[in-house]
Amino acid sequence: MPSPSQRNKINTHILDHPFTDYWDIFVLKHQNPLNIALHLVGIVIFYGLLLSAWQLHQPLLLFALPLSQLTGLLGHFFFEKSHIDLQDAIFSWRASFCLGRLFWQVLTGKYIHTIESHLEELSKIYPIQNNTLRLNAQSPPSEEIVRLSMVSHPMDVK
């Protein structure tokens, strides 16, 4: 299986994956509830600033828009150390689309199920043993492992 491009990298541990659609990669980079919450706050800040600048006729408020992206980056820095593509972090249509989709799926309660289905797909390549995802199927048990996020996920609402 070919390695994903640097731009579609999930993290430093998962080197090969079957995902080609950016949404699938985005989901695997956004599993931690605190990271997701900071991204949602960033979205609210972004649209709040746009609306405020328009309503108050204060275009200088638009200079604060980078705060919305900084909020999301803090989520990756503190809570979920997934690969960050600088082009997506600054601005890209694909990241903006995925953030909107994330926002909608969290509001409708579907995002946790999306994470679970993507982890299930990933587990076909990296076997699961004792609720952990083994990063290399040929590696010995001492090899580095990743905890599955779908086990007792705090965002799981039933």
- The DSSP letter of residue 59 is G
* Stronger pLDDT, 43 or 9, i.e. the higher one: 43
Give residue 83's pLDDT: 76
Question: What is the overall mean pLDDT for the chain?
Answer: 78
Question: What mean pLDDT do residues 118-126 have?
Answer: 81
Place of tokens 């649209």: 47
pLDDT category at 128 given cuts 50, 70, 90 is: low
pLDDT of the residue at 40: 96
Residue found under tokens 């689309």: 97
145 vs 10, higher pLDDT: 10
Q: Which of 61, 60, 57, 29 is nearest to 46 (CA)?
A: 61
Res 3 pLDDT > 50: no
DSSP-H helix ranges across the chain:
22-29, 33-55, 66-78, 86-90, 93-108, 111-122
Beta bridge partners of 132: 129, 147
- Tokens in use for 129? 């043993």
Tell me which residue of 156, 12, 21 sits closest to 76, measured CA to CA.
12
Closest CA to 81 of 12, 147, 18, 145: 12
- Mapping DSSP to helix (H, G, I), strand (E, B) and coil, where does residue 20 land? coil
pLDDT of 13 reads 66
Tens-digit pLDDT profile for residues 11-45:
666 666 667 788 988 998 899 999 999 999 999 99
Question: Is the per-residue pLDDT at 153 higher than 90?
Answer: no
Q: State the pLDDT at residue 122.
A: 81
What is residue 140's predicted lDDT score, i.e. its pLDDT?
Answer: 39
Q: What sign does the CA torsion over 71, 73, 76, 78 have?
A: negative
Determine the Cα–Cα distance for residues 155 and 6; give it in Å rounded to an integer: 29
Structure tokens at 61: 């408020």
Segment 50-75, tens digit of pLDDT: 999 999 999 999 999 999 999 989 99
Band of pLDDT at residue 90, cut at 50, 70 and 90: confident
What is d(CA 74, CA 89) in angstroms, rounded to the nearest whole number? 11
Name the residue among 98, 118, 115 with its Cα closest to residue 43.
Answer: 98
